[in-house]
Structure 1
Amino acid sequence: MCDLLENVPIHWGPRFDCGSAAATFTRVDPSTIEFEAPAHMALVMFTPQPGRIAALNSDRRTNFMAPVGCLEIVPATADFYASWSTPKENILVALRPRRLTALAQAEFGRAECELQPPRSGFIDRKALLIAEMIRDELMSSETVSPIYLDSLLTVFSVHLLRHYSSVAGQPAPPRRGGLSARSWRDVSDFIDANLMSDLRIETLAKIAELSPSHFLRAFRQTVGQPPHRYILELRTKKAEQLILSTDHSLVEIATACGFSSHSHLSSTMKRLRHTSPNELRRDPEKQ
């Protein structure tokens, strides 16, 4: 299976890849790039690009102004060329075709869909807002949250489907209410049993028998917070219990609770509990 961001140099910026989707925040000096897209790709600009030159499946290169919030879409297998003469910052999202197809089926009941790129220089403010949240998480001083980034990529993908694909304009099924009692029980039981695993929105949505975007809305309505925050709170509580009731090392506890490292556990407890694992073990009254 190919790397979704294989055509983007690693030194251009931090990246996240969950297998079916990926994102990178790039900051790069004037340069040129040319490739055949290994997946569906979408770029959202954070800095203006006067005199940007691009070509999509054509030898004809267009010179245009790419403002902040400019959205470019490159469908999978398309030939793409771009060059820019001023420093550039942007979010680049890559989606495997099967992920977008699965979303189209879940959201719109359409088994097939094609992306339809907007005109050169087109501004999409909602895409910019989602891209800014992706950037902020990728640039976090703490370890990034995979399930949070997975949530943002799901929202971004559904936005592309609704506005830049062959299913655009198709009515989605009405979405009302939170999770049913059965769905909430099944989802919460699965989360409890898999806290140490790398949980994904697509997996939880399937358990609830909902589309990913409907699941995100229904989960928040039922629980009062998004999945990634709920899961982080559960992991922190479990870590506290193990710190107080066992003599396991903090590294072992971090792994058992789904944290990527001891430092990730420590930074999370500092932020949520205003204490550290070591301090809690020395002084249980800090709980």
Structure 2
Amino acid sequence: MAGTPAYTVLAQAQWPGVDLLVCREDIRQRTLWSIEQPRHTVIVHLGGTMRELDTEIDGAGSTHAPPSPGDIWLVPAERRYASQARGQVITYAELRLSPLADVDLGNESRMPLDELMPRLGHRDEFLHYSVARLGRLSQNADDLSLMMAERLQLLLRQHLYDGYRLPVAPRPEAGSLSPQAARRLCDHIEDCLDQRITLADLAALAGMNVHQLLIAFRRNFGTTPAQYILAQRLRRARWHLLNGNADIADIAFDCGFASHSHLSAAFKRDTGITPRQFRDGLRMRADY
């Protein structure tokens, strides 16, 4: 992550086609980051407070909400990522993968990580905890730690291949979202999270009918509009839970949930814990 030099490298490691970097960085002054390189980059926010974050990935839209620990950005090779942030001292990890880094599919078959889908402020608990664990293992020099790290980076490759490969190109009539349309959709959803959002509204913003939107949206974002909106509402709720003392019912309404119980049910399905447990637990926890 190119930016100011006010950071400390906490851990780093390298395997064929894969690099890991874990850093602590002071972002009390506005900090600019950019990525545009021939490798895929997975960025995981591990800890520390961000008050502001504006991020854009070419062709994948933008996001303007600050992250919570565990939020993930995936920047595919050759895509431009630009971001500006302000907050406190944060820790983050970058996993950089060559598109030629391959995955064992069995039966002596291997496939490269050639094309991955972009992600902005995404949630993937396996990816979060595995990258954090890989960073901790990489701080050790003993043979067992090195062996476990080697195995874990292979599992991470497999996970990215299984869950983040770019879908097969759509039929010509299906089309895909232009970078401008993707940005309009992201901005509209983020601005209206506390309101009712309809497929008809999103389709009109994209200049498509609803059927075309559903196909194009999945190709660009790897999920449905409803799943994407829920993920963004949960992301906003996580940030408020960790960075304020508002009542959980008020947070629910502010994030577009119908009630405290509606937020709690969605939150527990997503994380396995309640909003209150999340607030109490992560406030006491430090990854590094």
Shorter-chain TM-score bucket reads: 0.3 to 0.5
Using structure 2 for the length normalisation, give the TM-score.
Answer: 0.47
Higher strand share: 2
Larger gyration radius, structure 1 or structure 2:
1
Say which structure, 1 or 2, has more relative contact order (CA 8 Å, 6+ apart).
2
Using structure 1 for the length normalisation, give the TM-score.
Answer: 0.47
